[in-house]
Structure 1
Amino acid sequence: MKNNIVMDGLRSVARMGQTAAVAAKAGIKYATEKPSNAKLMRETFESLGSTYIKLGQFIASTPSLFPREYVEEFQGCLDQTPTLPFSYVQQVLASEFAGRNLNEIFASIDEKSLASASIAQVHAAQLVSGENVVIKVQKPGVETILYTDLNVLHWAAKILEKAVPKVKFASLADIVDEIKTRMVREVDFIEEAQNLDDFVNYLNITQNKAAYAPKVYHQYSTRRVLTMERLYGVPLTDFDVVKKVSKDPSQVLITAMNTWFGSLMMCNSFHADLHAGNLMLMEDGRVGFIDFGIVGQLKPEVWTACIGFMDALQKTDYALMAQNMLNMGMTDTKIDTQVLAADLERLFSGVLLADPQELLSTNPADLNDIMMDMVGVGERHGIRFPRDFALLFKQMLYFDRFMRILAPYTDIYADQRLQMVQSMDPNVLLKH
């Protein structure tokens, strides 16, 4: 125990030194090359690794808190890192399953990783009992680096708040605390396993046979190792391969969206990172959901208000839009809905001139702009949106990208098969 404390202390000191060196390098680059502040910050964050990359992704998905130029710049914040040697994976497994013979758990483990990101690395394996699984192994010192970085950020935020009292986003320290809460949850694989169990239970209760999520092997999982059933399939962005498995690619997308929309109402949390790598079409035609490390939480009434807002937007009913905006946000002040409706009309009238029905089929960049403008209008009226509101919209943007590939000539949002608000009635969910 004492040695671990000493090692953590040494890692913290080394991390602070590394942070200072990268910051100094960024200062020199700013003085010599004069890049934009947003670009320099993104490049610096990527150089600093896991914590700062996650912070960059938080900035990209939280337009209600950060200036637009930073939100747009951090859209490209990368989360791929070099792979670690297989010997490290073996060390972690030996440490986490101390006292147990690994040969009695795993018949084989592929030395080459399937994926490597800032927090963990994934390897394919086979259990002694014969099941094919994937093992998600946490990278070295992730928690120490996380806490060191966030303590430095918290300290810097406090200084900045005192030095610049009129900073637009005055609650910087609170924002750092929010990031800390999310990231600490992401490095706890026991919590990720619970997220997966929750989703699997939801599929079972609703008798949804069209979607699937991997089984967790809890007896072979810890805070730093997660062992799950391995799913085989293709990403939804590979249209040619999807076409070979499914006669109707749009049906695949409808299944994925209906399943996800249902989880907003019926799960403790929703998958907040369903990009092409985390959503697949399995060989048997089912849609597979994987990697539940990043989740959001949303009250069902907030999602109902979001749907009401979008419906009112298509009908250009600005008074109803204003009311739903209040229902999905929070405010301490009395809002004049007529003034809010007028502001929304000014914002959206130009967007809707072409065809209101095309709004939700516009490109992701435009949707992101619309979301940021809407949040801006809300802020001016003292409306604070739920903290996971941006995660919700980010996922809608991911679905937009899938639509362009799988159903380019179909208005999915007008499709009668799509159920954006669902009840506990299992018949509502799409089945084969």
Structure 2
Amino acid sequence: MKKNILFDGLRSVARIGETAVVAAKAGIKYATEKPSNAKLMRETFESLGSTYIKLGQFIASTPSLFPREYVEEFQGCLDQTPTLPFSYIQQVLNEEFAGKDLSSIFKSIDETPLASASIAQVHAAVLTTGENVVLKVQKPGVETILYTDLNVLHWATKILEKAVPKVKFASLSEIAEEIKTRMVREVDFIEEAQNLEDFRSYLQITQNQQAMAPRVYHQFSTRRVLTMQRLYGVSLTDLDVVKQYVKDPTQVLITAMNTWFGSLMMCKSFHADLHAGNLMLLEDGRVGFIDFGIVGQLKPEVWQACMRFMDALQATDYDLMAENMLQMGMTKTSIDTKVLAEDLRRLFGGVLLADPQELLQSNPADLNAVMMDMVAVGERHGIRFPRDFALLFKQMLYFDRFMRVLAPFTDIYADQRLKMLQDQAPISLLKH
């Protein structure tokens, strides 16, 4: 135990030194090359690794807290990292299953990873009982680095707030605390396992047999190792391959969207990172949802307000849009909805003049720009949107990309099979 504490202490000191070196290089680059502040910040964050990459993604998904140029620049903040040798992964497995011979749990573990990101690496394995599983293994030292970085970040925000009282990023220490809360959850695989179980319970209670999520093997899972059922399927971004499994690719997308929309109303949390790597068409025709490390929380009434806002948008009823915008966000002051409605008219009038459906048919970059404009309008009126609103909108952008592949000539939102608001009856069963 003392050895581990000493080792973690040394690693923290080394991490602070590494951070200082990268920051110094960034300072030299700024002085010599004069890149934009946002670009330099993104490149520096990517050089600093896992914690800062996650911070960059937080900035990209939180337009209500950060300036637009930073939000747009950090859209390109990557989360793929070089793979680690299997010996490092084996070290974590031995530590987490101390006292047990790994051969008594796993018949085999594939040394070549299926995927590698900033926090964890994923390997295929077979249990001694014969089940095919995947192991999500936290990379060595990630937790120590995370806490070191977050402490440095918190210390830096306190200094910056004192040195520059009118700093553009308001309430920096509060933002740092929010980041810490989110990121600490992401390195706790027990919480991710619970997210998975909640989603599986939702599928069972709603009798949804068209979608599934992997089973968790709790007896072989810890805070740093998550053992799950292995799902076999193909990406929804390859239309030719999808057609080999199903006759109607559009139905696959509608199933995925209906399942996700239902989770907004009926689950404790919703999958907030459902990109092409985390959504697949299984060999039996079902839709598979994987990787519940990043989730959001949304009150059902907020999602209902979002839907009413979109209905009012298509009906060009700006007064109704303003009323529902108040329900979507948070405000501490009284709002003049008439003035807000006029601002919304100026924002959306040009977009909707030609076709009320045009907003939904725009490309993802345009949709993201519209969202940031809408958030900016809300901010001017004292409306602060919760971060999960941005996560919600980001997922809508992911679905937009799936639509372009699976249903390029179909208006999915006009399809009668799509149910964006669903019966709330099971909520009490899932949320208590």
Take 1:361 and 1:211, find their aligned partners in 2: how far apart are those partners? 26
Are the aligned partners of 2:61 and 2:387 in contact in 1 as well (CA < 8 Å)? no
One-letter code aligned to 2:7: M
Residue 361 of structure 2 is matched in structure 1 by 361
Other-structure match for 1:373: 373
The Cα of 1:90 is off from its aligned counterpart by 1.4
Once the two structures are superposed, what CA deviation does each residue of 1:103-139 show, in whole Å capped at 9, x if it has no partner? Answer: 1110000010000000000000001111100000000
> How many angstroms does 1:5 deviate by?
1.4
Runs of 4+ in 1 over 4 A off after TM superposition: none
Task: Give, in angstroms, the shift of residue 404 of structure 1.
Answer: 0.6
SS of structure 2 residue aligned to 1:388: helix
- 2:324 is aligned to 324
1:11 match: 11
Q: Answer whether contact 2:309 2:325 (CA < 8 A) is retained.
A: yes
Runs of at least 5 residues in structure 2 that lack an aligned partner in the other structure: 427-432
Q: Which amino acid aligns with 1:167?
A: V
Work out the CA distance in 1 between the residues paired with 2:130 and 2:222: 21
2:220 is aligned to 220
Q: Look up the equivalent residue of 1:76 and give its one-letter code.
A: G
Q: Contact (CA 8 Å) 2:253, 2:403: kept in 1 or not? A: yes
User: Aligned partners of 1:167, 1:321: CA distance in 2, in Å?
Assistant: 32
Are the counterparts in 2 of residues 206 and 424 from structure 1 also a CA contact under 8 Å? no
Structure 1 portions without partners, runs of 5+: 427-432
* 2:89/2:140 contact within 8 Å kept: no
After superposition, residues 338-349 of structure 1 pair within 5 angstroms as: 338-349=338-349
Give the drift of 1:168: 3.0
Q: What RMSD over aligned residues (CA atoms) do the two structures have, in Å? A: 0.9
Indicate the SS of the match to 2:387: coil
Which residue does 1:69 correspond to in 2? 69
Secondary structure, aligned partner of 1:228: strand
1:190 and 1:223 in contact (8 A); partners too: yes
Compute the displacement of 1:238 (Å): 0.9
Distance 1:168 1:72 in 2: 17
2:182 equivalent in structure 1: 182
In terms of mean alpha carbon deviation, does 367-376 or 157-166 score higher?
157-166
Figure out how many residues of one structure are paired with residues of the other and give that number.
426
State the Cα distance separating 1:166 from its structure 2 match. Answer: 1.4
Give per-residue Cα distances to partners, 1:231-281, cap 9 Å, x unaligned.
Answer: 000111111101111111111100000000000000000000000000000
Distance 1:264 1:173 in 2: 30
Aligned partner of 2:302 in structure 1 is: 302
User: TM-score by structure 1 length?
Assistant: 0.97
Matched, 1:24 2:24: yes
Determine the C-alpha separation between the residues in 1 that align with 2:33 and 2:243. Answer: 48
Q: Do residues 168 (structure 1) and 168 (structure 2) align? A: yes
1:195–1:292 Cα contact (<8 Å) kept:
yes
Whole-Å separation in 1 of the counterparts to 2:422 and 2:35:
48
Partner of 1:403: 403
Q: For residue 429 of structure 1, what is the aligned residue in structure 2? A: none
**How far off is 1:87 after superposition?**
1.1
Structure 1: distance between partners of 2:351 and 2:283: 41
2:286 maps to amino acid: R
User: Distance in 2 between the 1:150 and 1:425 partners?
Assistant: 40
Paired letter, 1:330: M
Aligned partners of 2:90, 2:32: CA distance in 1, in Å?
45
Q: Which residue does 1:258 correspond to in 2?
A: 258
Q: Is the CA contact 1:63–1:372 (under 8 Å) kept in the aligned structure 2?
A: yes
1:35-46 matches, cutoff 5 A: 35-46=35-46
Residue 387 of structure 1 and its aligned partner are, at CA, apart by: 2.5
SS at match of 1:245: coil
Q: CA deviation at 1:425?
A: 6.2
Q: What amino acid is aligned across from residue 339 of structure 1 in structure 2? A: V
**Structure 1 SS opposite 2:62:** coil
* Number of the residue aligned with 1:229: 229
* Equivalence for 1:430: none
Conserved 8 A contact 1:193-1:216: yes
Paired AA for residue 292 in structure 2: F
Question: Which amino acid is the alignment partner of residue 133 of structure 1?
Answer: V
Amino acid at match of 2:56: G
- Identity among equivalent positions (%) equals 84
> Which shifted more, 266-275 or 357-366?
357-366
Residues 1:240 and 2:240 are matched in the alignment: yes
* Letter of the structure 2 residue corresponding to residue 393 of structure 1: F
Aligned counterpart, 1:86: 86
How many Å separate the matches in 2 of 1:354 and 1:3?
68
1:60 — aligned with what? 60
